[in-house]
Amino acid sequence: MGETDGPSAQLPTPPESKPADHRPADHRTADSRPTDRLTEVFDLVGPLYRRAQRKVEQDVPAEGLSVGVRAVLTLLREHGPLTVPQMGREQALSRQFVQRMVNEATARGLTESVPNPTHKRSSLIRLTEPGRAAVTAVLDRERAMLRQVDGDLTDAEIDTCLRVLTRLLDLLDNVDVD
């Protein structure tokens, strides 16, 4: 198989100036399998994530937070102090990547390490006041941006989306990869 063959091949990205039509395809047949439909879900989730990631990075120059640091700060804001391994498990990211993001956040005074009463070698990481202020400002701007589209989606649609994506995430935790 050549370098561009197979499931890991990169597909050309449509130009940003002409948005792709992301409405569900009406090409389903009687023998369409759920697996085929799930492929359509993942074909949308990747571009959705990347587009949101770019938007966040473009819109946060005041705080200068990368998406990785922002994810750490958001997690600590939601859950309180955590260890690096706990953050990695929660985000399905490697401990090494999370550690780099924590190091960056700590160097900027956004997080700090505190003793962990349950584990001597794995410190807890917590937000500092500047870290809390930075992530709150980012989240406030994101919410303002999302208000521009919230009228196009009903609460029921959002609830269904959250339920399905959460279920898929749970199911993928139990998948064995050869």
CATH number at residue 108: 1.10.10.10
- pLDDT lower than 70: segments of the chain: 1-32, 53, 56-57, 59-63, 150, 175-178
Q: Write the CA distances from 26 to 30, 37, 39, 41, 48, integer angstroms.
A: 12, 11, 15, 14, 21
pLDDT at 153: 84
Per the domain annotation, does 9 fall within a domain?
no
Phi-psi sector, 118: left (phi>0), alpha (psi -120 to 50), beta: alpha
Per the domain annotation, does 44 fall within a domain?
no
pLDDT at 24: 55
Per the domain annotation, does 158 fall within a domain?
no
For the chain, the domain total comes to 1
Q: Are 125 and 87 in contact (CB under 8 A)?
A: yes
Sign, Cα dihedral of 79, 125, 63, 46: negative
* The model scores a pTM over 0.85: no
pLDDT at 136: 92
pLDDT at 11: 40
Residue 88's domain comprises 65-147
The amino acid sitting at 21 is D
Per the domain annotation, does 125 fall within a domain?
yes
The Cα 110–Cα 155 span in angstroms is 34
Per the domain annotation, does 39 fall within a domain?
no
Helix (H, G, I), strand (E, B) or coil at 127: strand
Per the domain annotation, does 28 fall within a domain?
no
pLDDT at 161: 92
pLDDT at 1: 40
Half-sphere exposure of 10 (CA within 13 A, CB side): 4
pLDDT digits (tens, 9 = 90+) for 121-140: 889 999 999 999 999 988 88
Per the domain annotation, does 118 fall within a domain?
yes
The Cα 103–Cα 99 span in angstroms is 6
Per the domain annotation, does 177 fall within a domain?
no
